Each structure stands twice: as structure tokens, then as C-alpha cells.
Amino acid sequence: MRWFSQVYYRYSKMWKIIRLYFLIAGPGLVVMIADNDAGGITTYAATSAKYGYGLIWFLFILVPVAYYVQEMTVRLGAVTKRGHAEAIFDGFGAFWGWFSLVDLMLVDWLTLVTEFVGMTAALRIFGVPPYLTVIGVCLLLGIIVLNGRYWTWEKIALVFCAFNLIYIPGAFIVHPSVSQVVRQGLVPNFPGGFNGELFFYLMANIGTTIAPWMLFFQQSAVVDKGMTEKDIPWGKFDTVLGSFLTGIVGVFIFIVGGTALKGMDVESAAQASRLLMGVNHYLGTFMAIGLFDAGLLGAICISLASSWAFGEIFGWAHSLNNKIKQAPWFYANYFITLVTAGIVVLIPRAPLVLITLFVQVVAVTLLPAALVFLILLLNDEKTMGEYKNTLTQNILNSAIVVAIVVLSSLYGVSVLFPKIFH
């Protein structure tokens, strides 16, 4: 009887913790899984087609990198109750504030265009015309945000996050050799030797792991959710879990690509899906659904990141808990960003490849600034109090930030001058 009551006690305690987590869960999971957006899927597919399983180990390095950067936004948001844009304005003045806000608007809009490119390309495989995809996505996202509750929006976003796991069963369809995955993928190595081309792929993978919109999105989401200092441990756990899941999804895409696409020249995830259709119909379908979902998740988060930022600065009501009448400018900003990005994809002969390349270059101008501001704000004892960065966190985070700044800058330069690393 005593044994039974102990088991019951432990079970009910565990269940209570899980239920509490589901109340707090959200921003970290959503932002991390949305990190595997259409551009991310393309990068993973292209890298795995080129190097097989050879760079899987690199994804495992990127998991803690993403966590340490995003974790800072949880603390900053929970303590200051301010989004990243407002924190920059307040901390560093109007010049740096406007620079970040305008740059964020531009990067977000361009990234949103690339998400629409991914979504329309994915559904075109199933015969859905692009205009129908754009209309459908805008309507769907409109319905999601207009329900007037942050909680509902977040839980719907989490459902779409679950679809991102579709690559896991996909990997089982291709029957990879586990011993080869372990031998080639988990032992750090540079397939074919360290050369300019490999360096380019490594930089591209870093570029997809840490994007500027992620910092702004998670901090604003933490604020909109109403998280406080006592929720920080849960917020951190949420971010750990999210970064782990995003890494796992990346690994499974590498396994699919490394098994079924090795040696092929893959330029986009949609092309990878079509190629995989030839290998196995279900596999290609999974890949295409995953690409659409990735684009949709990216669109859900990115469109909100700039609307939240503008709302914070212009003093508009800017919560998903507000109805459209209460926050007209916030929703107007949201829909203008979304609809115009969708329209660009429908323009015949629109320079979509140029836009995709331009995103990477513009992101390089915003990312270092946003990261440097993040570190400096986390060291402001007056605001952060006991939640300011410790010496260890400063050393670790500064090293990560310097590495990201250098590598993402080199990536931006390589996009501007494509022959530089080849």
C-alpha cells in the first residue's frame, strides 16, 4: 500500500510539473522549431546532398550555440518586460534604435518573401497554383492572429511545430545505415578536406541557425505571454527543448538527404522534394509537406516579430491578446507585411533569387548589432539585477557572439563575392 501511494505521489507530482510546463511552454519551442524555416530546410538539403552525413556533427555544435543566444532574450524579456527593439531604443538611444528597427523591418520582409517562395514551391508539387497558396496562407495566418488570445495563437503555432517532425519518419523510409551515420556523421571531420566550398556550407548552416528575427521574436513573445522573473527557469527549459528538437529535425533531414540525394546538385528544398518523389513517393510528399510547414512556421513568427517591434516603439497596443479594434496599427502592420511579401512571389519574373541572396547580406548587418546590444543589455546591473550575465556566461556568450559575427560576416561577403571561397 505504501509503495502504491509513493508511486501515485510521484506520478501526480510529475503530471503537475508537465501541466505547469505546458502552461509556460511556447516562445522557446516555437522560435527554435521555426528556425528550421524554408531557407533552413534548403540549406540542410543542399548540405547533405553535397557532403552526405559528413557534417551532422556540426549541427550538434549549433544546438548549444542557438540555446545560449536565445536564452539571453528570455531573461531580458522577463526582467524588463520589453521587447528587444524597445530595449535597444531605451538602452542605446534613438540612432541605434532606428537602425535596428528599420533593418529588422527590411530583413523580416525579405525573409517572409523567401518563406512564401518555399511554401508556393512546396504546394506546386501537389498541383496547387501559387496564388491559391498565397491567399490560403494569408487567410490562415489572419484567422490564427485574429482570435484575440496569445495563448490560442501559441498553441496553434505549436501544432504546426509538431508537423516539423515529419522528417523523422521520412528518414526511416530511406533505410539509412546506422553505423555509417554514426561513423561519418558523429565524428567531427571535414569531408573532402577543409576548403572554401566546405567553409561556405558551414557558414550557411550557421546563418540559418541564428537569425536576427529570432532574437526580436522570442523577447517580444516572452513579454506578450506575460512571463516574469519566476518563469525564467521554465523559459530556459523551453528554449533547451526547442534547440534540441530543431537540432534533431536538422539531423534527420541530413540523414534523408545524405542517403537519398548524395552526389546530386540540390539548389532548393522544393527541388529536393521532387527528387525524393522519384526515390519514394511518400518520402517526397513528407519533404514537401515539411517544407510547406517550415515556411508557414517561419511566416507565423517573422510577420509578428516586426509588428511587435513597431508596436513597442510607436506605443501602439501590440498584444495578441488585443482585438483588432483595440490594436488596429499592430494588425495593420502585420497584414501589410504579410500580404505584400506574398504578392511579390506572384509577380511574374520577380527577382526571387536576388531577394534570397539579399536577405543573407542584410541579415549580416543586423545580426551583429542585435547580438552586441543583447550582451551589453544583459550586463546592465541596474536593469537586470541578479539576472545579469555571470562571468562564465559573459565569456561563453561573447565567444559565441564573436564567432557568429565573424562567420556570418564572411558568409555575407561570400554571397556578395561568390568566387571568394571557391
Partner 1 sequence: MRKILRRQFGKIGEINRKYSKPRIEMSMPVRLSLLLLRGYLIFLVGLMVFRFITLLH
Q: Which set of grid coordinates corresponds to residue 216?
A: 526580436
Residues of span 5-34 touching partner 1 by CB under 8 A: none
Binding mask 34-63 for partner 1 (x = CB under 8 A): ------------------------------
Q: Is 231 in the site for partner 1 (CB under 8 A)?
A: no
Q: Is 92 in the site for partner 1 (CB under 8 A)?
A: yes
Give the one residue of 300, 305, 364, 404 binding partner 1; rule: CB under 8 A: 364
Q: Is 269 in the site for partner 1 (CB under 8 A)?
A: no
Give the one residue of 57, 60, 68, 96 binding partner 1; rule: CB under 8 A: 96
Q: By C-beta, is 276 or 363 nearer to partner 1?
A: 363
CB of 314 to partner 1, least distance (A): 6
Q: Which stretch binds partner 1 (CB under 8 A): 92-100, 107-115, 140-148, 154-162?
A: 92-100
CB of 371 to partner 1, least distance (A): 10
| Cβ 203 vs Cβ 422: under 8 Å | no
Rounded to whole angstroms, the Cα distance separating 76 from 285 reads: 41
Q: By C-beta, is 248 or 372 nearer to partner 1?
A: 372
CA dihedral of residues 382, 388, 394, 400 (deg, nearest 10): -110
Give the one residue of 106, 352, 372, 384 binding partner 1; rule: CB under 8 A: 372
Q: Hey, what amino acid is at 324? A: I
Q: Which set of grid coordinates corresponds to residue 368?
A: 551583429
Q: By C-beta, is 60 or 96 nearer to partner 1?
A: 96
Q: Which set of grid coordinates corresponds to residue 189?
A: 571531420
User: Phi and psi dihedrals of 177, rounded to 5?
Assistant: -85, 115
Q: Which set of grid coordinates corresponds to residue 288?
A: 514537401
Give the one residue of 315, 347, 348, 391 binding partner 1; rule: CB under 8 A: 315
Buried b (16+ CB within 10 A) or exposed e, 109-146: bbbbbbbbbbbbbbbbbeeeebeebbeebbeebeebbe
Binding mask 380-419 for partner 1 (x = CB under 8 A): x-x----------------------x---x--xx--xx--
CB of 90 to partner 1, least distance (A): 5
Q: Which stretch binds partner 1 (CB under 8 A): 63-71, 193-201, 233-241, 311-319?
A: 311-319
Q: Which stretch binds partner 1 (CB under 8 A): 68-76, 138-146, 293-301, 312-320?
A: 312-320
Q: Which stretch binds partner 1 (CB under 8 A): 19-27, 200-208, 211-219, 310-318?
A: 310-318
Q: By C-beta, is 168 or 361 nearer to partner 1?
A: 361
| Cβ 246 vs Cβ 335: under 8 Å | no
SS3 309: helix
Buried b (16+ CB within 10 A) or exposed e, 27-51: bbbbbbbbbbbbbbbbbbbbbbbbb
Q: By C-beta, is 42 or 414 nearer to partner 1?
A: 414
Residue with cell 496599427: 329
Give the one residue of 24, 57, 61, 90 binding partner 1; rule: CB under 8 A: 90
DSSP 184-219: IIIS---TT-S-HHHHHHHHHHHHHHS-HHHHHHHH
Give the one residue of 232, 377, 400, 404 binding partner 1; rule: CB under 8 A: 377
Q: Which set of grid coordinates corresponds to residue 201?
A: 556550407
Rounded to whole angstroms, the Cα distance separating 256 from 261 reads: 8
Rounded to whole angstroms, the Cα distance separating 38 from 34 reads: 9
Rounded to whole angstroms, the Cα distance separating 305 from 228 reads: 20
Binding mask 234-253 for partner 1 (x = CB under 8 A): --------------------
**Residues in touch with partner 1 (CB under 8 A):** 89-94, 96-97, 313-315, 329, 361, 364-365, 368-369, 372, 376-377, 380, 382, 405, 409, 412-413, 416-417
